[in-house]
């Protein structure tokens, strides 16, 4: 076959520094954004805090209409996330105890579970390839510390950027399972407890018997009790009691203590939602957009400065302009997303979780003409103040199940109905998962018994035999 050269045109994505900064600003929380801007003001002589009066935040139940202002141009934030960017470098640090003049002191914000695990990952001796696999695994670990996603699905999600398999990811997962907190990265409760037991000294009383229970009949423990477990394992009642007591000292949710706000702390909302003349209105909360401006005196000095000083000032002027444009793009994207969420979930704001409609990131992104990852970053660690209290933007999303009348019901609404049914049940004859499923089917929501069991466990409601009360 004869070789030849032929010209061809191709399109490929190049993330400019300005776009990278806009992406980073979009995913920051309100506290992290304030810290980011404060650092920029401290390091850039052409930036300074704007002395204009802070706009008054509208009340949640009654508010003046939003001031008419020209809409900033559509930000170019719909490009896919740069997988080569290191997430531990992208996160800003929250400012503790910062007084903003609004009478609310910002609380200390603990590192999230992902931050804590990434810190340990980069202290370990991982190859670059294993490090990328580890980042993907850590990102999939939920707030309780469990890896509930299938390794094969995670491996498929990394392609084509990284061609890996579930077998290759498993050794990396085993190393992450040795991180602090002990038990993190487990795929089920039994594995979580086994990891914690294996970390105990070998001579710990009842350790081996507790490992046998965690590896096998753990799910039967509430039903069998101590006597049933003794008969099943062929041990004495005292040994079975000691093993069960040891299991009770373990933490079934090792990741829950990370990233939680301290008791008595405050969450500052990014947006505020209120009803005016029967219509829902959305605006940025007071202080959500840091008020910074370019120092005009320094900008005018560029014309008369020497070549070296002029280049220095021009570089900082460019950085200042990028920051201001990035802040405008962040505010515009956040407002667009929140307005869409309010439009879709008006019934949720009116009646509560039972009225939450099925809504996904993909549908919101398609409606707004944005990339799904952009919407995901826009809602990450963002909150909105509503007449029903301060809500996380992620609370507005829910998966759906088809109903008998051809419509759909959100998983959140179904969970809320299960909670209501359990609260109203006869404690002497609690409703089983099968009876709950039958009741929901009568109400037009055909769900399987195993789905009801999954939702009940997510609500931390015990099984029917554990809820029975004789007295």
Q: Are the beta carbons of 273 and 63 closer than 8 angstroms?
A: no
Q: Which of 328, 339, 373, 336 is nearest to 73 (CA)?
A: 328
Q: Which of 203, 201, 196, 211 is nearest to 243 (CA)?
A: 211
Mean pLDDT of 442-454: 80
User: 208 or 62, which is more confident?
Assistant: 208
Q: What share of the chain is helix, strand, coil (3-state, %, to 5)?
A: 50, 10, 40
In whole numbers, what is the pLDDT of the chain averaged over residues? 77
What residue has token string 């094969």? 152
Strands 408-410 and 389-392: unpaired
Provide φ and ψ at 326, rounded to 5°: -65, -40
User: Which residues in 180-289 belong to E strands, given as ranges?
Assistant: 271-276, 279-284
Which whole-number Å values give the CA distances from 371 to 79, 81, 182, 214, in the listed order?
6, 10, 37, 43
Rounded distance, CA 3 to CA 191, Å? 57
User: Which residues in 388-435 belong to E strands, given as ranges?
Assistant: 389-392, 400-402, 408-410
Please check the confidence at residue 332 and state whether its pLDDT lies above 60: yes
User: 8 or 239, which is more confident?
Assistant: 239
Rounded distance, CA 341 to CA 334, Å? 11
Rounded distance, CA 183 to CA 251, Å? 8
Q: Which of 403, 275, 322, 429 is nearest to 76 (CA)?
A: 322
Classified as helix, coil or strand, 187 is coil
Provide φ and ψ at 402, rounded to 5°: -65, 140
pLDDT of residue 20: 77
The string of pLDDT tens digits covering residues 126-160 is 888 998 899 989 988 988 899 988 898 888 888 88
The DSSP annotation for 105-157 comes to BPPP-PPPHHHHHHHHHHHS---HHHHHHHHHHHHHB-TTSBB-S-HHHHHHH
User: 111 or 249, which is more confident?
Assistant: 249
The fold adopted by the segment(s) 399-467 is: Arc Repressor Mutant, subunit A (1.10.10)
Rounded distance, CA 243 to CA 194, Å? 12
Classified as helix, coil or strand, 354 is helix
Tokens of residue 4, six digits: 């030849």
Please check the confidence at residue 10 and state whether its pLDDT lies above 70: no
Alpha carbon 129 to its chain centroid, in Å, reads 25
What share of the chain has pLDDT > 90, as a percent? Answer: 14
pLDDT of residue 130: 92
Ranges 48-52, 275-279, 281-285, 434-438, most confident: 281-285
99 DSSP β-pair partners: 105
Q: Are the beta carbons of 179 and 201 closer than 8 angstroms?
A: no
Q: Where are the domains of the chain?
A: 17-104+265-392, 110-260, 399-467
Classified as helix, coil or strand, 38 is helix
Which whole-number Å values give the CA distances from 219 to 33, 236, 280, 433, in the listed order?
45, 20, 47, 16
Rounded distance, CA 249 to CA 114, Å? 25
Rounded distance, CA 209 to CA 310, Å? 74
pTM: 0.50
Q: What is the pLDDT confidence band of residue 187, given thresholds at 50, 70 and 90? A: very high
Rg, C-alpha atoms of the chain: 27
Classified as helix, coil or strand, 174 is helix
Rounded distance, CA 381 to CA 267, Å? 10
Neighbours of 223 (CB within 10 A): 12
Rounded distance, CA 409 to CA 415, Å? 10
What share of the chain has pLDDT > 70, as a percent? Answer: 79
Mean pLDDT of 52-75: 40
User: 166 or 409, which is more confident?
Assistant: 166
């Amino acid at each position: 076959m004869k070789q030849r050269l032929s010209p061809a045109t191709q399109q490929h994505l190049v993330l400019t520094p300005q776009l990278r900064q806009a992406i980073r600003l979009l995913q920051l929380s309100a506290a992290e954004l304030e810290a980011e801007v404060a650092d920029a003001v401290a390091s850039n002589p052409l930036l300074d805090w704007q002395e204009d009066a802070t706009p008054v935040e509208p009340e949640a139940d009654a508010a003046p209409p939003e001031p008419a202002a020209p809409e900033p141009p559509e930000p170019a934030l719909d490009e896919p996330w740069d997988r080569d960017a290191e997430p531990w470098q992208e996160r800003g640090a929250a400012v503790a105890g910062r007084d903003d003049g609004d009478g609310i002191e910002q609380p200390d914000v603990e590192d999230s579970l992902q931050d804590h695990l990434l810190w340990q990952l980069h202290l370990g001796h991982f190859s670059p390839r294993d490090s990328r696999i580890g980042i993907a695994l850590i990102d999939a670990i939920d707030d309780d510390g469990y890896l509930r996603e299938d390794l094969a699905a995670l491996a498929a999600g990394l392609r084509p950027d990284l061609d890996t398999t579930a077998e290759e990811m498993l050794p990396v997962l085993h190393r992450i399972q040795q991180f602090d907190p002990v038990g993190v990265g487990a795929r089920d409760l039994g594995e979580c407890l086994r990891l914690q037991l294996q970390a105990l000294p070998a001579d710990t009383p009842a350790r081996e018997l507790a490992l046998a229970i965690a590896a096998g009949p753990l799910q039967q423990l509430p039903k069998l009790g101590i006597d049933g477990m003794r008969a099943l394992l062929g041990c004495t009642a005292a040994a079975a009691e000691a093993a069960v007591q040891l299991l009770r000292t373990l933490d079934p949710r090792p990741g829950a203590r990370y990233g939680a706000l301290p008791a008595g702390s405050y969450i500052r909302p990014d947006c505020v939602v209120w009803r005016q003349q029967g219509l829902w209105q959305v605006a940025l909360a007071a202080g959500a957009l840091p008020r910074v401006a370019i120092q005009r005196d320094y900008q005018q000095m560029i014309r008369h400065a020497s070549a070296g000083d002029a280049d220095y000032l021009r570089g900082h002027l460019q950085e200042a302009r990028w920051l201001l444009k990035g802040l405008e793009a962040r505010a515009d994207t956040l407002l667009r997303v929140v307005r869409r969420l309010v439009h879709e979930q008006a019934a949720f704001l009116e009646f509560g979780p039972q009225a939450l409609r099925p809504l996904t990131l993909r549908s919101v992104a398609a409606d707004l003409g944005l990339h799904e990852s952009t919407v995901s970053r826009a809602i990450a660690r963002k909150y909105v103040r509503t007449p029903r209290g301060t809500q996380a933007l992620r609370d507005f999303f829910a998966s759906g199940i088809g109903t008998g009348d051809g419509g759909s019901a959100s998983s959140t609404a179904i969970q809320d109905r299960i909670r209501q049914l359990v609260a109203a049940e006869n404690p002497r004859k609690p409703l089983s998962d099968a009876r709950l499923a039958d009741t929901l089917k009568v109400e037009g929501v055909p769900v399987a018994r195993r789905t009801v069991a999954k939702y009940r466990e997510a609500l931390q409601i015990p099984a029917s035999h554990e809820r029975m009360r004789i007295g």
